[in-house]
Amino acid sequence: MTNKVNMRELFLDMQQEMIMELNKLRKHVTHAPTKGDTVELSWIEFLSTYLPNRYCVDTAFIVDNTGIRSDQIDLVIYDQQYSPFVFCHSGVKYIPAESVYAIFEVKQTLNKQHLLYAAEKAESVRALERTSVPIIHAGGIYPPRPTFDIVAGLITTSSDWTLPFGKPFQEVNKELKPWQRLNIGCTLDSGSFLLKADGTFDISSKEESLIFFFIKLFIQLQNLGTVPAMDIDLYSQVLDSI
């Protein structure tokens, strides 16, 4: 006799647990000065809880070896193994561009203004220079790996559009330049989206918005593999002794 488990029920149970955790975080985040900051910190803590330990999550600026920085990014998913420097100055974090897997803008509502704003943030990160050097291991040397396309997206609680991912949403996304495109997003009470290779979108049901977003994000991160090893010597040449 073959024993079977209802996988759909397991995923929905997982989503319910996630929703409860996210709501709990919103309730107990008391160190944020505004409602927007509370939502932002809740998502940071939520993703830090559920993503594997290899991924760090923070609010930060992204910088490259030339000293150029991005706009401030609400939510950065990054690595510290091969790009170990995260600079903190006056309480603000600066993360090397090589370390970044994904970036998100966090807003209350989904609308044209916020989509375009998130797209501009994405462009400010993707325009940065990224280095890549060989990795020495026990069996020899791995060659420098090519830099990948950083994932970008938008997270909101609700939508200003009656049909969140209908014609207005589609038209805004058609306006975006390649560096501005948003790969994935979540509108918690309405559904989530994933940009496909052909330029169309996979859209979740309202009932499965959070679990769809989390699973699709995790798959995107898996597909990126490991970040390139940054050229630390190039970054450190700003020091007088180097």
pLDDT tens for 78-115 read 998 777 778 888 888 999 999 999 999 999 999 999 99
R_g (Cα) of the chain, nearest Å: 19
- CA 61 vs CA 73, 78, 104: distances in Å: 6, 12, 12
d(Cα 213, Cα 188) in Å, to the nearest integer? 9
- pLDDT over threshold 60, residue 120: yes
Burial of 6 (0-12, 13-18, 19+ CB in 10 A): exposed
152-202 confidence digits (pLDDT tens): 999 999 999 999 999 999 999 999 999 999 999 999 999 999 999 999 999
Separation CA 78–CA 220 (nearest Å): 13
Q: Which residues form the catalytic set?
A: 74, 105, 107
Instruction: Give the mean model confidence (pLDDT) for residues 11-17.
Output: 83
Residue 49 has pLDDT above 80, yes or no: yes
Q: What separation in angstroms does the CA of 175 have from each of 118, 133, 135, 237?
A: 13, 35, 39, 40
Q: How do the domains of the chain map onto residue ranges?
A: 9-52+101-132+145-232
Per-residue pLDDT, averaged over 225-241, amounts to 88
User: 34 or 61, which is more confident?
Assistant: 61
Q: What does the pLDDT read at residue 162?
A: 94
